[in-house]
Amino acid sequence: MKNITKQVAILLLLINFSLLAESGGSLEFGFIGGLSIPNENMSDFFNVENVSVQVDSLKSVGTFITNSAADKGYHLGARLSKDITNNIYIYGALTFHRFNKGSYELAVYNEELSDTVLAHFQATTNIVPITLGINAYLMRKTVGLYLTGDLTYNFISTSVDYEVKKKITLPIYLDRTISRPGCGIGAGIDFDLSLFLLAVEAKYNLSNLVGREDGEPKKNYVSISLGVTF
């Protein structure tokens, strides 16, 4: 699976460069940034439901209690775009999304320990998508309205900080990076200001649509972006 996903990333990069390098239309450069709104699973670990816990000499099943999902995050990125026709253009982009800390508690339930909170966790997730996208304009004058869709190859990392109240052994991933193919779909409006193009865009993103492991939560998010293209 790792070899397949690496091949997908390389293929996506090659398609990006080849399409953008073709003759016809001028190549434009721009920046994007804005708000990233995660789903409730964004900061989940792979085995967030139940985990075998060694507490002193007792072995039990621990249950994660979600106190709060990841907060709203932000994104920054750059893109290259090129007109294919008057109403269609393609773009390649590299973007960094950061989702602020989601909080969890780990509790163990058994007769010897009673109901005991063993540890507090905070997880931070970063997603870096390599993007190949297309915009199709419904109207394109001084003000343009468009639909957008893209294919992405996403590098997803989650790091976990924790505070332990008892001596425990936890078989969980505290720092892990994975890569997954995904996609996005959305719409936007842009304004031709002569010197540059200003755009506002909303998009729903599925960052690990393909290749999820058993128990791996879906990590989807909405991005609301402000973009400038020169």
Q: What is the pLDDT of residues 134-145, one digit of tens each?
A: 999 999 999 999
Look up the pTM and report it: 0.83
For the chain, the domain total comes to 1
Residue 128 domain boundaries: 2-45+72-101+124-160+177-229
- Establish if 186 belongs to a structural domain: yes
> Which CATH number goes with the domain that contains 82?
2.40.160.20
- The per-residue pLDDT for 228 is 98
- Residue 18 in any domain: the answer is yes
Task: Tell me the per-residue pLDDT of 171-220, one tens digit each, with 9 for 90 and over.
Answer: 666 778 999 999 999 999 999 999 999 999 999 999 999 999 887 889 99
Domain membership of residue 59 (yes or no) is no
Q: Is residue 19 part of a domain?
A: yes
In this prediction, residues 13-24 reach a mean pLDDT of 61
* Local structure of 97: helix, strand or coil: strand
Q: Does 61 reside within a domain?
A: no
Q: DSSP states of 99-130 as a string?
A: EEEEEEEEEEEETTTEEEEEEEEEEEEEEEEE
